[in-house]
A and B are shown apart, each in its own frame.
Chain A
Amino acid sequence: MLILTCPCCGVAAEETELQPGGEAHLKRFGPGSSDDAFEAYMFARANPKGVHFERWRHAYGCGKWFLAARCTATLEVFGTYSAQTKEPPAEIVTKIRAKRPDWAGWSA
């Protein structure tokens, strides 16, 4: 059972306090978007064995959403950060690169 530190309130929260929200940094496609773009937004989700970025809500705590970078294979947590961002912060990317030299890197 994971422990993730909520960057909003600072609590190291147990997984039972959290609500999972799937892949982070999705770009919304609304009216006017192509079928392919909308399909990808709705349904196409990365499912990597390794580095992944996810949305979590501190549901039984401060109620805020935040984002987490972790390894889906080892469950190592590289960091949690604000949900109010469109891409992973540079310091987290640096940290992941140091620990996972083979990582292909984040792309939108």
Chain B
Amino acid sequence: MSTRLAQGGRLIDRQKPLRFTFNGLPMEGYEGDTMAAALLANDRMLVGRSFKYHRPRGIVASGAEEPNALVGLGEGARFEPNQRVTTTELFDGASAISQNHWPSLDFDIGAINARLARFLPAGFYYKMFIHPRPFWKHVYEPFIRQSAGLGRAPKDRDPDRYEQAYGFCDVAVVGGGVAGLAAALAAGRAGKRVWLMEQAAHWGGRAVVDGVTVDGAAAEDWVAAALAELGGMANVRVKARTMAAGLYDHGYLLAYERIADHTPGDGRPRHRLWRIRAGQVIAATGAIERPLAFAGNDVPGVMLASAVRDYAVNWAVSPGDRTVIVTNNDDAYRTALALADAGLVVPAVVDARACVTGALPQAVRDRGIRVLEGRGIAKVKGGKRVTGVAICAQAGEGSVLEEIGCDAVAMSGGWSPVVHLWSHCGGKLAWDEAGAMFRPDPARPPTGADGAAMVVAAGAANGHLQAADCLADAHAAGGGTGAAPTAVTEAEAPLEPVWIMPQGAGPALRAKMWLDYQNDVKVSDVQLAAREGYESVEHTKRYTTLGMATDQGKLSNINGLAVLSEALHQPIPATGTTTFRPPYTPISLAAIAGEAKGELFQPLRRTPMHDWHEAHGAYWEPVGHWRRPYCYQRSGEGIEDAVRREVRNTRNGLGLLDASTLGKIVVKGPDAGRFLDMLYTNMMSTLPVGKCRYGLMCNEQGFLSDDGVVARLSDDTWLCHTTSGGADRIHGWMEDWLQCEWWDWKVYTANLTEQFAQVAVVGPKARAVLEKLGGDIDLSAAALPFMHWAEGTLGGISARVFRISFSGELSYEIAVPAGQGRAFWEQLIAAGEDFGVMPYGTEALHIMRAEKGFIMIGDETDGTVIPQDLGLDWAISKKKADFLGKRGMERTHMTDPNRWKLVGLETPDGSVIPDGAYVPATGVNANGQKNTQGRVTSTYHSPTLDRGIAMALVLNGPDRMGEVLDIPGIDGKVYRAKIVSPVFYDPEGEKQNV
């Protein structure tokens, strides 16, 4: 059994007991525990089930590489699945539940899959569920969905706060072991701006556990002194609980700080995502111990040798009373010594090497512990917990030489440098034959903006596994001058690569050797993939799912590709690694979102009258980042009723529209007229001061891009109105041409959209209400005719009045300074009371323009429509030698007489044709789809005419007046529609010219 030792534990505070529960069972731990340490202290080794076979699984590791021990953590809205207990700090009141089992962890029906393991080989899903096709959706997928998935999603809204922050440094040191500390000290002393980050809550990495001596002091003391010195440097930031998740282009480093995971609900942000720009990254990320592949290596109680030692030294937890150690290297002997120091029994060290003579093995032998040379584990005995191991010759096929009773197995297959940060942005690896590991190739580093290396690997991450080499390397990486810190440790003899144990194991044993614990990938699966022709490691990964679980194969990848290489009879570097992708360990989606949620998800643009609309029943419609009232609902009134009321009231009396969102761009300068002549399809340079002109803008392909009314303010100044959604885009378009093509033209542009509030005063009573406001502007038809503008004061507010109309009624659009927009609006509402004034929204605006046959950018246009398609030939200058889009319109397809052109559609029964409906034609196209000859671009119920009206682009439409089309709707009905003029209302324009 696993238990808490009576003494020791460098990270725990026995004076501070903490209560927590696992699957509802009350348990106790200490401050400083990880949840993994506390579970083991409570003899909870079995913590989950594997993904595919639902095999019982225990804690394997002590850190981020843990593949098995994932739990659902927390309760209610703070519940979160798939949390790694080895990186979860224990806190009082924590609760965890196990995953992947039904009905219970100890008795799981899904484990039947394990009995069927030989029917579920690699690629099973691909092979099994491909035929018959129709079965996929209704039979296979529901079945797979039910049995797949890790954990369950929380149901309630996350109550915690998450934030993002920016950091800048010369050097970002990743990893808080002695290498990281040494590198940070070197860089910090040189005056560099340094960030030092460590993913765990504690510092010192392996050295403090392994009893290394640094500069004559215990590693523990050296680490404390280093942290104290770094803490005193103003140019150094030291951050624990901060994991460097990924490195991207130009030194962009993403770091994930777990601020309050261990203090839930204390008001601090739970996670903070740091977006750091680092001049240089020093990856002192250490190394991860590799498991050994022997039969039954997934039975709870089989752990990494380094993890066993971590639990004993850091947390005073004994994973077992009797621990057999199995290794191919000297380092694992440290575990034997640590356990012996703790008074625990090590029945034997099983060493795959035929001859073991190093200092560490000798120290172990001196304790009276058996060292079995040239031996391996044939099989682990036990189901939910190790009960013993069968020993065999490593060189053989697995004949059992002896059985040893034990309740834990500590395994070590050597170490793999953590090369993720090096690799994320293109750093290449070299195979180190002696260490049997991939290490960063200094000749092929990831490069930054200047073409130079942006990452330096340091210490164990650079393949320097011995403390002395590790410190010297890190000191140099940090740019250190003078002597590096020195370390004293026992010398280690070379390891012997062992990829399967025993090396001659037959199929039965290989089918029990786990490579990827979380995804249940075994040696036999990888070998099968190789036999089936999978040669690329990337394909094998996807076929077998090796390394595709939430641990991203931190334990399994190197072993897996070694097995693949053997099966393909090629050296390991010829097989290569899979791609290392960020994040290094999973980060919360909430941290990625940060504060960008709810009201802060997107900036909201409000017109000066926004609050008035809100207070008067506005039913909002998003228009770009703006909100505009779609209509103003009165109590008890439906939306459609409100829209109809607004249209009728405007046509018959007086309506007000908040048109402040309209783009307003001032174009000024000696060459402004010439510039606008290039921008618009029609002539703007000839527009007299005091007048307005409707204009069209096209892109270089000739496709309509924006429209609006242009007013000439003075000899060298024009005011261009754009669509509400187009203001920023058109301003950018103007600047692009001015800066990049006609940079010698003397023109300034300014986007004044937000500087003015604009109100459309519309309807037969429009002039009357403005005259009632009073002012110095003559608003009479003679003084201010249609398509003219004037400025002065209205109701005491300085105003510019444009006599333009998008509704077909008598209409004035009045711009006032934004700060007075609300006051002006309220004056109009008050003055208009006698005239029955009502505000109207965007839907009434749309309906009224459609009744008049006015086009709307985005409705009648879709980026493939030229002005000629919309009958706007009159707005295309024939005099101008050039304008943007002119050449594009001359292309043969654009000048083809047979194009879809704008018409009106009238339904004899008055029904409203569905939006976006297509007009079918005879025959089918090359894809077997029905041919089409047009589509509906705008369709409304017209309150003015009290029937449906529509605009459509129809093949040669204007030549087919009176023809009746059958238009199927997606509602299954077929709508009959007659082609008519798109101007449904007041075709002579009598209403607006009064």
**Which of A's residues lie within 8 Å of B, judged by CB?**
1-3, 14, 19, 21, 28-33, 35, 38, 41-42, 55, 57, 59, 63-65, 71, 74-77, 83-84, 99
Contacts and interface: CB of A to CB of B under 8 A. Distances in A.
B735 A65 contact: yes
B891 interface: yes
Given A33-B887, A42-B888, A65-B736, A74 B882 contact: no
Interface residues of B, number: 28
Contact of B739 (A3, A28, A59, A65): A65
Contacts of A74: 426, 447, 451
Contacts of B846: none
Nearest to A65: B739
Contact of B277 (A3, A71, A77): A3
Nearest to B743: A84
30 contacts: A1-B248, A1-B252, A2-B249, A2-B250, A3-B250, A28-B700, A30-B882, A31-B881, A31-B882, A31-B886, A32-B887, A38-B888, A38-B891, A42-B701, A57-B732, A57-B736, A59-B732, A65-B736, A74-B451, A75-B447, A75-B448, A76-B449, A76-B450, A76-B451, A77-B449, A83-B739, A83-B740, A83-B743, A84-B743, A99-B451
Contacts of B250: 1-3, 75
A19 B209 CA distance: 51
Nearest to B449: A77
> A41, A74, A77 — which one has the most chain B CB atoms within 10 A of its CB?
A74
B700 A42 contact: yes
A30 B735 contact: no
Given A30-B886, A33-B887, A75-B447, 14 more contacts: A2-B249, A2-B449, A3-B251, A3-B449, A21-B736, A29-B887, A38-B887, A57-B736, A64-B739, A75-B250, A75-B449, A76-B450, A77-B450, A83-B740
A27 to B, nearest CB: 10
Nearest to B736: A65
A14 B736 CA distance: 20
B891 A35 contact: yes
Contacts of A75: 249-250, 447-449
A41 B888 CA distance: 11
Contacts of B448: 75-76
B328 to A, nearest CB: 39
Contacts of A57: 732, 735-736
B156 interface: no
A41 B741 CA distance: 14
Contacts of A83: 739-740, 743
A103 to B, nearest CB: 13
- Residue of B451, B740, B882 with highest tally of chain A CB at under 10 A: B740
B740 A55 contact: yes
B749 to A, nearest CB: 10
Contacts of B882: 30-31
A81 B882 CA distance: 29
Interface string B9-41: 000000000000000000000000000000000
B890 interface: yes
Contacts of A41: 700
B739 A84 contact: yes
Interface string B728-750: 00001001100111010000000
A75 B248 CA distance: 11
A78 to B, nearest CB: 9
Contacts of B891: 35, 38
A31 B879 CA distance: 13
Contacts of B449: 2-3, 75-77
Contacts of A99: 451
Interface in B418-465: 426, 447-451
B450 to A, nearest CB: 7
A84 to B, nearest CB: 4
A61 to B, nearest CB: 13
B763 to A, nearest CB: 40
Interface string B876-887: 000001100011
Contacts of B249: 1-2, 75
B942 to A, nearest CB: 40
Contacts of B888: 38, 42
